[in-house]
Structure 1
Amino acid sequence: MSNKSIHPTTTPGLDTHRRSLVQRAAAVSASVAAPGLLLGGASQALAQTAGGWPSRPIRIIHPWAPGGGGDIVARLLAPKMQTDLGVPVVVENRPGAGGNIGAQLAARQPPDGYTIMTTAGAFAIAPSLFKTLGYNPVTDFVPVTKMAIAPLLVLVRADSPLKTMADLVALAKRDPKGVSFASFGTGSPSHLIGESINRQAGITMTHVPYSAGNASTDLQSGQVTLAILDALSQTPLVKAGRLRALALNGSNRLPSLPDVPTLTESGLPFDLVGWHAMFAPAGTPREIVERLNRIVNQIIATPEVKTRIFDLALFPVQPPTTPDQWGSMFRADVQAWGELVRSAGVTPT
């Protein structure tokens, strides 16, 4: 972590690479075959499993606590998947260690289609943050589909004199040591966005990492100048007049906050954005992966589910991705986020 980082006493606790970075990473990763997608040397037993699948309940491991955007999306999908597949589909939350406990558990399950995982964009950053994961996100999983896009908001108090990102940059240049930003933690997407703003604008905002959920509370009480937090939890506070959103990352404005510009529109582009997606253990038969992909994509495309996802301050993925498309995108994300982590000076732990 940069020596500009401090930790709040009340809480335990990128020069952006433009779209060309992601495109370059995608070009490299596209030449690598997606692990686990093909039956290849899979056993005859797995082939038979694919033919009779499903014949018993399916478990969706979600490596995050209940109530977050990914958890809600998984629980939107589960009953509709159950209707399509004819067997119970149960969401099981296994939070801890930044999503690593649940991901490690999912990676160790038999690749028979009866355990799948939904997770968030931090899954792509984990290899760059941790020396030992107990799993490899690229080789131990097969991508199924990308379900939703999850932007982050750059937020200040509603009574802040800052109305735009230009105002923020001007303040930070006038008072180089007086501006601080809260994030979800060192190496998190919100931290990397803040460091990107620093580099692009030539400013030195102080990073205040939080590992708990009270960054927003500290922002409202004035302990930090701004916070970069998820749109799902913070949009109600913006609408209630308690916070002001200056910008969001990604390519599009949120329908729920149509007056909030993107960072790109604000002259500080940050095209990488979080997501919620589905994976299966590597070696899961291709037939099962493709069937899951079709079913989940069809559910997300229904007006009911699309509306619900928009209501969560998320974007349903449109058009839907195939397993191969999502695999290429995911590997590009792993590489692109990794470069941003290193450029921010974050040391793996």
Structure 2
Amino acid sequence: MPSIPRRPPMPLHHDAGRRQAVQRLFTTAAAAVAGLPLASAHAQAAAASGGWPDRPIRLVHPWAAGGGGDIVARLLAERMQPLLGQPVVVDNRTGAGGNIGAQFAARQAADGYTVMTTAGGFAIAPSLFRSLGYDPVKDFVPVTKMATAPLLVLVRADSPLRSMADLVALARKEPQGVSFASFGIGSPSHLMGESINRLAGITMTHVPYSSGNAGTDLMGGQVTLAILDALSQTPQVKAGKLRALALNGTARLPSLPDVPTLAELGIPFELVGWHGMFAPAGTPRAVVDRLNRVVNQIIALPEVKGRLFDLALFPVQPPTTPEQWGAMFRQDVQSWGELVRSAGIQPT
């Protein structure tokens, strides 16, 4: 029987191309075992091997265009493009209190070409809904926290209430006579109002709004006060149409320096909303780290910080690592969940 000639052994040298080919082979095989589409496996391998990004990136934002979070998302997208060398396109996927967009983002390939920016309600959702269709902790990897978004306790400009002390005194005198408007049941503004009730020992009646008319009804006298976002209401305060009694968080707003925090007034409610970035779980660590560096670099730009302050937001400084933001986010999920349960809100 004729002998079969043997190929000489390949030299054992450190060839980057061979390593990348082997990495792609193993990634593809692992994906096949896990049942992932091969196209996704190839994309993840390319991202992990340093080829990311080589096409446009979709930035999902689960809220409507024109809102505070959308402004932040577009501020980022505009500046991410030159730093990453690819277009970054904002994709507004609205509905169900941010859940439709979040579910969509969770189901995208974990290849670095879909990321999501969202707000603090993302941390509350697990306590409000029995079936989200996604898990905020398990289905996403945190990238970085970008800004915090305080809420204002607001009354009409002609209201006799000029301070939180006045509000507490009135609520104690007329337990059923004080009402507060919020963004809706289980929203940060609702939970903040219920916390003020508990911490101050008063009973204000909650009036939920879902169509954005809380500010209009406040000015019309339908409610005693409203707890609304500083971003949309600071112009009304500066124009003399509304009076801000306090805000949550740990610092006063530069745009409203005379408005104290609740903690300063002896009502220790410091939980505050935020704007943050997430990617689908499984996104390569190299991609997450690069996104983290790029976004943190953008947030630190003087013109971006100035724009965020103008929007009544606090840019996050010092910047957060993915691990730091992940720990903060998990704590937020727990803290807001405790507030939901203490308010007696049943998940739907």
Q: Is the 8 A contact 1:42 1:283 kept in 2?
A: no
**1:340 match:** 339
1:33-182 pair list within 5 angstroms: 43=31, 45=42, 46-50=44-48, 51-182=50-181
Paired residue secondary structure (1:216): helix
Higher fraction of helix: 2
Q: Is the 8 A contact 2:246 2:261 kept in 1?
A: yes
In the TM superposition, residue 203 of structure 1 has moved relative to its aligned partner by: 1.1
**1:12 match:** none
Kindly provide the CA deviation profile for residues 13-67 of structure 1, in whole angstroms up to 9, marking residues without a partner as x: xxxxxxxxxxxxxxxxxxxxxxxxxx9x975732333221000000000000011
1: CA distance, partners of 2:169 / 2:199: 13
Structure 2 spans left out of the alignment, 5+ residues: 1-26, 32-40
Paired residue secondary structure (1:245): strand
Closer/same/farther in 2, CA of residues 348 and 76 from structure 1, 3 Å limit: same
Could you list the structure 1 runs, at least 4 aligned residues long, displaced by more than 4 angstroms after superposition: 41-44
Paired residue secondary structure (2:263): coil
Kindly provide the CA deviation profile for residues 203-240 of structure 1, in whole angstroms up to 9, marking residues without a partner as x: 11100000111000000000000000000110000001
1:151-230 pair list within 5 angstroms: 151-230=150-229
Kindly provide the CA deviation profile for residues 280-306 of structure 1, in whole angstroms up to 9, marking residues without a partner as x: 000000000000000000011000101
**1:320 match:** 319
**1:300 match:** 299
Aligned AA (1:193): M
In the TM superposition, residue 69 of structure 1 has moved relative to its aligned partner by: 1.3
**1:264 match:** 263
2: CA distance, partners of 1:233 / 1:309: 13
Aligned AA (1:62): H
In the TM superposition, residue 180 of structure 1 has moved relative to its aligned partner by: 0.2
Paired residue secondary structure (1:178): coil
Paired residue secondary structure (1:92): strand
1: CA distance, partners of 2:176 / 2:303: 48
* TM-score between the two structures when normalised by the length of structure 2: 0.88
Q: Is the 8 A contact 2:47 2:287 kept in 1?
A: no
2: CA distance, partners of 1:66 / 1:276: 15
2: CA distance, partners of 1:339 / 1:302: 36
1: CA distance, partners of 2:187 / 2:83: 36
% identical equivalent positions = 79
Kindly provide the CA deviation profile for residues 63-95 of structure 1, in whole angstroms up to 9, marking residues without a partner as x: 000111111011011121100111110001111
Q: Is the 8 A contact 1:109 1:115 kept in 2?
A: yes
**2:279 match:** 280
Q: Is the 8 A contact 2:219 2:241 kept in 1?
A: yes
* TM-score between the two structures when normalised by the length of structure 1: 0.87
Paired residue secondary structure (2:153): strand
Q: Is the 8 A contact 1:145 1:293 kept in 2?
A: yes
**1:14 match:** none
**Residues paired across the two proteins, number:** 310
**2:289 match:** 290
Please tell me the root mean square deviation across aligned C-alpha atoms, in Å: 1.2
1:244-263 pair list within 5 angstroms: 244-263=243-262
Aligned AA (1:212): S
**2:9 match:** none
2: CA distance, partners of 1:322 / 1:93: 26
Paired residue secondary structure (1:139): coil
Paired residue secondary structure (1:87): coil
Structure 1 spans left out of the alignment, 5+ residues: 1-38
